[in-house]
Chains A and B, each alone.
Chain A
Amino acid sequence: MAAPMLRWGCRGRRWAFARVDGGSCHRRGAPTGSTSNRIRGESSVAQQPLHTAQKTRKGEHKWAAVVGLEIHAQISSNSKLFSGSQVRFSAPPNSLVSFFDASLPGTLPVLNRRCVEAAVMTGLALNCHINKKSLFDRKHYFYADLPAGYQITQQRLPIAVNGSLIYGVCAGKKQSQVIPKTVRIKQIQLEQDSGKSLHDNLRSQTLIDLNRAEGQLRVDANISVHHPGEPLGVRTEVKNLNSIRFLAKAIDYEIQRQINELENGGEILNETRSFHHKLGCTMSMRDKEGKQDYRFMPEPNLPPLVLYDATSLPAGADPQQVINIDQIRETLPELPSVTREKLVQQYGMLLEHSFTLLNEVGLLEFFQNVIKETRAEPKKVTSWVLNTFLGYLKQQNLAVSESPVTPSALAELLDLLDSRTISSSAAKQVFEELWKREGKTPGQIVSEKQLELMQDQGALEQLCHSVMEAHPQVVMDVKNRNPRAINKLIGLVRKATQSRADPVMIKEILEKKLSL
């Protein structure tokens, strides 16, 4: 059992934590525990109401929706939250279970230091206030995969509170604009996990595996609607959301359902609903027995968790037994928002580009390596990496690590482009060749395919001259200020040069010849 789980939460404004009053209706048949080593959190999607829909009939009042997310994430650790058994995926059933995990009488929880560090790191990364003292509680409910009959959690006083996270929302016509938004994090708490149950309906039995390391990220959504300015509405909890896409669908559906219900004079019940993705709707999981009461009580076997910082650290304390928040803060890597800001400042890229660079694993490193090795301007590099390179990756569903083009290769290519050795279209050709993984360098490809730009100005002028002679009508059109004619002429010259001339240069020469 003692699998570490962090629960971090941020919710819409006046929602008291469900657990204090016993929480939403909860079918006893449905496990509320999530898998081991989880961070469970709550976040409201935006400070402003997420979704505003017009009331169609009366047309007077607008609706505002408030959404809170409860996120369960598993902590990456070797052993569990409260016991020394291993955290591992796909192990034989019940092989990673200690006596404590099996809730044998006389066993006690022993807190894993690494899990506390992970919780503090998460809290710091999410701008939370870290509670120097936090408490553990028992949350009671009955289910076969919870042999103790309760789950150890942090309901009263969790390890971190009041944080925030800045994220980007793609908007605009081409989804290219990124709007930064802030979500509040209500709290982060460490939490134990329940086991896994497999239902065998044929034999009317349930098979229980107490290993608990599934490694998923799980989300439950809490949704309510109200008129702006009025108190918050009754909320429902939606469970069984297995992907971000379903999360979005379920929230949209539930908001609309609540609006419809209220507009038709109905009422919203404080209940738990399940999302059925095939039907695209939420359905009530309401237990006829009424609200679940978790009978929270302090965990009697665990003293308060006390954390220190540089100023409060007791002298001569055993470093193994104390956790220094300041020390943990120093081990935090650079956070994404800081990195993005640096990219925008240093390379003059748009904010949305910085989001894209950071959202793809390994892409930032790739980009930075190219920058290091090339003379080309950062904006050029940004464009090539985010458009061409990323485009090829996505088309073939490859990760950056699987790319056939190395940063050095791209850097060399961009150098050739920068020195005007090749044209932009030739560069694209070279890139395509590089992607074939034949081991050739850009330079080799350029000479093999004779893609070098014509450097001989004189020869180019000759060619322009002969093309102009061969196409007097087009020349006439150009002189008559037909805007498309010049492009046609440029095209003809390019063809004559077998695309080895820089179109910009061609245009210059032609314009000079035509005295435009």
Chain B
Amino acid sequence: MSSQARRSALRAGALRGPRKEEMWSRLVWLGLRAPLGGRQGFTSKADPQGSGRITAAVIEHLERLALVDFGSREAVTRLEKAIAFADRLRAVDTDGVEPMESVLEDRCLYLRSDNVVEGNCADELLQNSHRVVEEYFVAPPGNISLPKLDEQEPFPHS
């Protein structure tokens, strides 16, 4: 298959060579490669595509970064399945193929003229806020710190 044809095929199939820094699943992949340790309650023994387990440390890390809650074993299993699904990308030979930066790469980026056309709607916007002080949104102070690693309940949800 010529590289041109391969490129079209890739585009048509919407399968892309993963970019090193961007692919989230790749980060987790690296996490999977790391030696296992710590609590392994969530981690499943099932290993769909030889992708390994997700350690509790990785789950902790993801939870803090993205403020999600992998509260159940089900959620972790789903995560593992998602990773396994994404891993199928690795089956594609992307040697010599330019990575695609954006699915919008053939579109023109629209340039707006430097005119003031919006704003001045503080009242409307402030209605969205649970709490308001004068014309400021009110938020809790700084960030609420997450419980420390060892303080955290291992499986807070079923």
* Contact yes or no, B112 A110, CB < 8 A: yes
**Which residue of the partner chain, among A142, A296, A297, contacts B67 with CB atoms under 8 Å?**
A142
Q: Are A304 and B105 in contact (CB under 8 A)?
A: yes
Q: Which residues of B contact A (CB under 8 A)?
A: 21-22, 24, 61, 64-67, 101-122, 125-126, 128, 131, 133-143, 145-146, 148
A323 close to chain B: CB less than 8 A: yes
- Contact: B114 with A85, CB < 8 Å? no
Contact B111 A116 (CB under 8 A): yes
10 closest A-B pairs (Cβ-Cβ)?
A: A85-B119, A144-B139, A114-B114, A207-B136, A84-B117, A303-B104, A29-B142, A113-B111, A98-B118, A208-B137
Residues of A within 8 A of B121 (CB): 97-99
Q: Are A79 and B139 in contact (CB under 8 A)?
A: no
Interface of A is mostly: loop
Residues of A bordering B, CB below 8 Å? 20, 28-29, 77-79, 83-86, 92-99, 101-102, 104, 110-116, 135, 140, 142-145, 156-157, 197-201, 204-210, 288-289, 293, 295-298, 300, 302-306, 320-321, 323
Contact present for B22 and A298 (CB under 8 Å): yes
Is B141 touching A306 in the complex (CB atoms < 8 A)? Answer: no
How far, in whole Å, are A300 and B107 apart by their CA atoms in the complex? Answer: 12
Establish whether residues A97 and B143, one from each chain, have CB atoms under 8 Å apart when the complex forms: no
Please judge, given known A-B contacts A93-B136, A142-B143, whether A320 and B117 are in contact too, CB under 8 Å.
no
Q: Knowing that A84-B118, A99-B125 are A-B contacts, what are 6 other residue pairs whose CB atoms are under 8 Å apart, sorted by A's residue number?
A: A78-B114, A85-B119, A86-B119, A199-B141, A201-B141, A210-B137
Whether A198 and B136, one on each chain, are in contact in the complex, defined by CB atoms closer than 8 angstroms, is yes
Q: Are A320 and B139 in contact, with the CB atoms below 8 A?
A: no
Compute how far the CA of A199 lies from the CA of B65 in the bound complex, rounded to whole angstroms. 23
Q: Which of A20, A111, A293 contacts B110 (CB 8 A)?
A: A111
Cβ-neighbour of A94 out of B113, B136, B148 (below 8 A): B136
26 A–B contacts, CB within 8 A, in A order: A78-B114, A78-B116, A84-B112, A84-B118, A93-B122, A93-B135, A94-B136, A95-B119, A96-B119, A97-B122, A98-B118, A99-B125, A116-B111, A144-B137, A144-B140, A156-B21, A157-B101, A198-B136, A199-B141, A209-B137, A295-B65, A296-B21, A302-B102, A303-B104, A304-B105, A304-B109
Knowing A83-B118, A93-B122, A98-B118, say if A305 contacts B109 (CB, 8 Å).
yes
> Which residue among B109, B117, B137 has the maximum number of chain A CB atoms within 10 Å of its CB?
B137
Point out the residues of chain A lying under 8 angstroms from B107, CB to CB: 303
- Give complex CA distance A101, B124 in Å: 13
> Closest CB of chain A to B58's CB: distance in Å?
12
Chain B: minimal CB distance from A383 (Å)? 45
A95 to B136, CA, bound (A): 10
Question: Are A304 and B102 closer than 8 Å at their CB atoms?
Answer: yes
List residues of chain B with CB within 8 A of the CB of A200: 141
Q: Tell me which of A29, A197, A210, A298 contacts B102 (CB under 8 A).
A: A298
| A28–B105 CB distance below 8 A | no
A321 touching B111 by the CB < 8 A rule? yes
When distances are taken between beta carbons in the complex, the residues of chain B under 8 Å from A303 are 102, 104-109
A97, A157, A201, A207: the one within 8 Å of B125 (CB): A97
If A206-B138, A208-B139 touch, does A302 touch B104 (CB 8 Å cutoff)? yes
Partner of B24, one of A288, A295, A298: A295
* B64: min CB distance to chain A, Å: 6
- Given A205-B139, A207-B133, A208-B139, verify A295-B114 contact (CB < 8 Å): no
Q: Which of B24, B114, B142 interacts with A206 by CB under 8 Å?
A: B142
Please pick, from B111, B135, B142, B145, the residue contacting A92 in the complex, using a CB distance under 8 A.
B135
Q: A201 CB to closest chain B CB, in angstroms?
A: 7
- Complex Cα distance, B61 from A115, in Å, reads 37
- Residue of chain A at shortest CB distance from B135: A93
Chain B residues contacting A98 (CB-CB under 8 Å) are 118-119, 121
Q: Which residues of A contact B137 (CB under 8 A)?
A: 94, 144, 207-210
Residues of the A chain whose Cβ atoms lie less than 8 Å from the Cβ of B66: 140, 295
Determine whether the beta carbon of B143 is less than 8 Å from that of A209.
no
Query: Assuming the A-B contacts A29-B143, A94-B126, A321-B110, are A208 and B138 also in contact, with contact meaning beta carbons closer than 8 angstroms in the complex?
Result: yes
Task: Tell which of A95, A207, A289, A298 touches B122, judged by Cβ atoms closer than 8 Å.
Answer: A95
Nearest CB in chain B: distance from A26 CB, A:
11
Partner of B135, one of A95, A113, A305: A95
Pick the contact of B141 from A84, A104, A205 — CB < 8 Å?
Answer: A205
CA–CA, A438 and B154, complex, Å: 84
> Shortest distance in angstroms between B80's beta carbon and chain A's nearest beta carbon?
20
A20 to chain B, nearest CB (A): 6
Contacts of B108 in A (CB 8 A): 303, 306, 321
State the CA gap A197–B67 with chains docked (Å).
21
Q: How far is the CA of A78 from the CA of B138 in the complex (A)?
A: 28
Question: Max chain B CB contacts within 10 Å: which of A112, A289, A305, A320?
Answer: A289
**CA A204 – CA B64 in complex, angstroms?**
23
Contact (Cβ within 8 A) B110 A206: no
A112 touches B104 (CB 8 A): no
Question: What is the CA–CA distance of A94 and B119 in the complex, to the nearest angstrom?
Answer: 9
**Chain A residue with minimal CB distance to B101?**
A135
Point out the residue from B111, B120, B139 that lies within 8 Å of A323, measured CB to CB: B111
Distance (Å) between the CB of A481 and the closest chain B CB?
77
Q: Are A297 and B22 in contact (CB under 8 A)?
A: yes
On chain A, the residues within 8 Å of B103 by CB distance are 300
B128: A residues at CB distance < 8 A: 102, 104
Residue of B at shortest CB range from A100? B118
B141 contacts A95, C-beta separation under 8 Å: no
A289 near B146 with CB under 8 A, answer yes
Instruction: Provide the bound-state CA to CA distance between A79 and B120, in Å.
Output: 13
- Measured CB to CB, the nearest residue on chain B to A87 is B116
On chain B, the residues within 8 Å of A297 by CB distance are 22, 24
Residue of B64, B107, B120, B140 with most partner-chain A CB within 10 A: B120
